Amino acid sequence: MVEYQDWKLRHVAATVGGRVYIADKRPFVARVLAEAGLRLKPDSERLSASALAERWT
C-alpha cells in the first residue's frame, strides 16, 4: 500500500476541481498483479462497449 501512496504523490496534479493524475496507473497495477501471479486483462476484454466509448470521450 505504501508503494501505491508513493505513486499517487508522484503523479498527482492539483486542479481547481480537485486532483487529477498525470500518469496512467495501468502499468503500475499490471506489475503489482503480475507479482501476485495475476494478469490484468486488456480494456477490450474487461469493459463493456459503452464503458470503452466513455473512456475515450
Average pLDDT over residues 32-47: 90
% of the chain with per-residue pLDDT over 70:
89
- Residues with Cβ < 8 Å from 2, sequence gap 6 or more? none
Considering the entire predicted model, what is its pTM? Answer: 0.62
CA-based end-to-end distance of the chain = 31
The CB-side HSE value for 19 (13 A sphere, CA atoms) comes to 7
* pLDDT, the chain, mean: 84
Tell me the residue range of the domain where 29 lies: 2-55
Which cell numbers in the block locate residue 26?
A: 495501468
pLDDT for 30 = 92
* Count of the separate structural domains present in the chain: 1
